[in-house]
Each structure stands twice: as C-alpha cells, then as structure tokens.
Structure 1
C-alpha cells in the first residue's frame, strides 16, 4: 500500500475531517495518508518550503502563495486531465477562496476550508448579532467583548476596517498599505476597541477567544471580528454554544471587506507520489465530499455545496448561511513573495503601538513604510 504523509493544523476543524476523509479514500484507492498537525501560530508563519521536504500533502494558508511559487516547492494542480474537476471546484468557490491559490497562471492549492472575519456571540446573552460600531463599543464598555489581537490577527482587524469602508489595503496604484489620509482612522478605531477589552486579548487568536467565550461561567457575549469557527456552533462542543453572523458594518457598503482566511490543500513538488497526492486533493476538495464526510467530521468546508446545505446549516446553528454574505464579499490579502515577512513584522508593530497608545497617524506611516520595503 502507498502511504502518504500529510500536514494540517492542530484543531478539530483542521485535523478530524482530514483523518476521516483519508480513511474513506484509503478504502477506495488503496492509498493511506498519515496526518501530522501543527499549531495555528505555526500554520500562519512556518515556511511551506520546509514542509514540502517532509510531506506529500500540505494544508496551506493563501498568503504564502507568492512565496511558494518563487520557491517552486509545490506541484501545480491544474493538469489537463483534471480540467472538468477543476472547473467544478472553481464554480463552488465561496468568495475568492479558489482565486486565492491562483498565481502565475497556475493553481497551487484547492480550497479545503473557507473562513473570514465574522462576528460571534452568545445567544444566551445577546438576542442577536450587533449591526454597527456603536453597538460594538457599547458591549465593550460593558466588559462583554473579546477580540483576538495576537499577531497576525491584530493586522487583520485593520485590514477589515479599511476594506469595509471601501478603502481596501495595499492598492496597487499607490504601493502603500493604508490610505495615508484615512488610514489613521482605521488604526484609531482599533485602538479605541483594544483599550476596552482585557489585556489578555493581545495573546489570543480566534480559537483562544472562542474558548474564553464558550467556557463555563464566562460572561463574554461578543467577538465582533474574528475568523469563524463553525465547531463552536455545534451543540455540546463546549459548555456554551456560540452563534455566528456577518461582521458589524462601519459604513454603508454592507458586510464587505473582511480579510479572507481559510485553507487549501496542496501537493509537494518534492513528493515521490505527486499523482497519488493530487488524486486525494481533488477528492477532498470536491463538492460531494465537502458537503458529506468532510462536514460530518466537523470540518468547515470550502465548497458552496456545503455552505448552502440546509442540513449542515441546521447542525451548525446556521453558521454557513448566516456568514455567507461576509465571506462572498471578503477582501483578498496581498500574496506576493515577501508579504509574509511584512504581515508578521507589521502585526508586531501594530500590537506594540496599541499597547503604547502610539498616535494612529504615526502607526499608519510606519505600516506604509514597511509595506513599501516588502515590495
């Protein structure tokens, strides 16, 4: 039996569906897959090129795309014999998930998991989602808000604020990151909210934030901006069940501009079993599998067939239906080679600036300077 090695990320949403689908694939194809997992922080920053030396299949984050193309460490998935399957997966893309792995005319991964910044609330503490900034601040003043501010999530908040107001970060025509005239407003808005939440938020990613909301005795009612995790909407997953919906809007453009997240399934160019690994990638990214065993195992699918399935939505408290508008209108981050260095460094500068109450205009100028350097 051929045995492939796969690397995903350490959370039930990232690991359990891969193991479940691999077991089904093994029965069907005779190819087994052993899955390892790494932390979310490692997933967001560890070089894919190093993983490609050790694994056949790699679950990746789309901002790495430019880097992996430059390094040549992944095998493109758009082979002629897969044209129809590729087109079907592209049609099933939720928001720009499929496009996020397209670069230099090739497809480097297939959407496996779709996510963007959305809002989460405790339905036993709030009647429903908040709809605007004033409501967010009111809840924060009452001590009921948690906000993931651990790098890179602090930077994702600024991106979402800017894009939601129609001034998406990193416009090509200026080669800057934030609009020099209005970017300070985005930094100031984040500074206002960060000052009202617990200092522990600076060490939290979305998983930690949702764990804090869902634990026994928690009085945290709202996470207004954080990457959605459908698992926390499952009955019995944690002591308190969370509900999810579109982001609170800042202007008049609706729930648009949330910084896209999610994951894709990629194949190492160093693998001795590229064809076998590619076969599994197409299998696990296909609509029937995404809406079937992948979702059933607790995954957060990347295919529209699952997001619009009434049975799946009923099980997850409407998570997919209630956040689909935000995901479809989400903002695709820069992906050029060098961006990942900027993302980490800029997140650290922004986080430190929030703690030190640095003037928003100065923060914006520093981020713009750093972005021009990464280009």
Structure 2
C-alpha cells in the first residue's frame, strides 16, 4: 500500500510540473500573438492614413457620418488585416476581444495612444512591460531598465510567464550575470555593473588580457621561465605523435596529422618536395620525388614476345602489341574474323580487344 501511494504521489508531481511548463509556454505564446496583432494593427493604421470613404461625395459623408480617419469603416478595414487566415491563435484572440478594439478606437485612443500597453498589458493581461515577468509582472533581476544587469536574458521578460531567472551572455555566469565565466576576466566590476573580457588564448584563468596575465595555462600550452603560457610543439615530442607515412603540423595549443604524398615514403610536410625518401617507382630529382619511366630503362621490363611497355605513375604495364591478345599469360595473334559483303572487316571502336598481358603496380 505504501509503494502504491508513493507511485501515485510521484505521478501527480510529474503532472503538476508538466502543467506548469505548459502554462509558461502558453503565456509566452499568448503575449507573442498579442504583440503581432498590435504590430499588424499599427501597420494597418499607417496603410489607411490617407484614405477616405471612396464615395462620390466624401465631404457630405464626413459631415453627415463622421470623418473616415476615426470611422468604424476604417476600424473594420484594419481589423480584417490583422491575422492570416490559417492563424487560429491570432483570429481567436481578435474575435474574443473585438469589443476592446472598438472601445479603444472610439473612447481610449486619445488618452491611451500606446495600444500594446493598453490592450496586451493592462486590459487582457497577456504581456508585461519590458524588464518584468510572470503573472504579477515582477521586476527582473538587475531592474527593468537592465535585466540581468545587461549581461543576460530574464526568463519570461515582457510576458506573463517565466520564472525571472537569468540566462547569461557568453563570458558571464552566476545568478546575477555579474561573474566572469572561465577564460574571461573582469575589466570593471561593482555591485550593479560587470564588464568581462576574454583572456589571452593560452589562458584558462587570467587577471588581464595578455599572455603574461595567465594564472593557469590551457591544455596544449605550458609556462615558460618568465611565467608566460607558450605553445607546446607536439610535433617535436618523443614519441612522434603521428602515424607512419603521416606528417605533423603544429598549431596554437594543439597539432594535426596529415597523410604524406603518395610519392613519399615518409615525409616532413605536404607535397613531393618534403619526402624523407621516395616511394618505389619514384626517384629524387633536385629534392623532389618524380616518376621513374621504367619503359626507358636500359634493361627491358617487358620481356615476353609481342609485348610493349606503357609507363604509369610509379609503375608500368606490359600490353600486347596491336594484332595480338593475351591468352594464358602470353600474346597470341588475334583470330581472323570472316568478312561479309554487307560489312567488310575493319577495326572499329566497338571491336572488342583484349591486349593486357601483365600489369605491375608498385604501391
């Protein structure tokens, strides 16, 4: 029985927390919708500023009815453009509070020209003034003029939702966003103001903005005899940090490994000019590894009868001469094809030939 009651209690707690989260989102969404409606109202007000009734006797209409600029006709034209047809939240809010727009238009506009304040904040109460939050529009930490002391965002700011907690900007931390985060230092600080600036790249903690102001070095840096955090050259360390046939590139606070050029057998940098030795099939010519043309060597590399040599990058191929094809490792004459009257025998691009005897690839 005790276990059952505990489970029920936890379930109820989860429901309460979920409901509270949903309520916060709902408050924020309602305020956002209301602000958009007011923004569209103001745009409609500007759009209709130079219009009139459009009839044949505007002067008579304004004298007998009212001026267009303060007429119900103009109000209706503005209201019709407040929401997109597919926006349920917007259309529902306008329909639900249409009488408030009429009240403001005919009775409150002169005394309360700020529609956002009168409608969203004071009348239907879905928003709060900037710098305040929650159902009662409580003031954010740091004051309404500088929420979170100007170094962060107050949760629920300007809405009837949120809890007022600060989400600090980059470089700041703490409940009041007055403390400097790691790798930042205070250039100015008092009870209500804090200016944090970034440390020198080699510092984890610092008292100023130079390399000499480091209090603790970042990974990949070390303190020299003068107390300055300097870069560690990992590429000169023992054992070598990269794999075989890779070269090391040192950078600030770290290093990277890249694959050597295929012409190299070990290297100290990119390209064939940084080889420590040349790969098989290549030779050193004035400090650069270049391809060896095996077909031009004094000793023939293709020794079978009716073979010819074709040079490739780092190697060569032995192919059968024209008119011969490879068969069981040797070059034999190609079989003669029967000629027909309609199609005389000839060599074409579509004629299948196989002339490869041996292929040697040195990797």
Q: What range describes the TM-score normalised by the shorter chain of this pair?
A: under 0.3
Q: Which has the higher strand share?
A: 2
Greater length-normalized contact order (CA 8 Å, ≥ 6 residues apart) = 1
If you compute each CA radius of gyration, which structure gives the higher value, 1 or 2? Answer: 2
Q: Which has the higher helix share?
A: 1
TM-score between both structures, scaled by the size of structure 2: 0.17
TM-score between both structures, scaled by the size of structure 1: 0.16
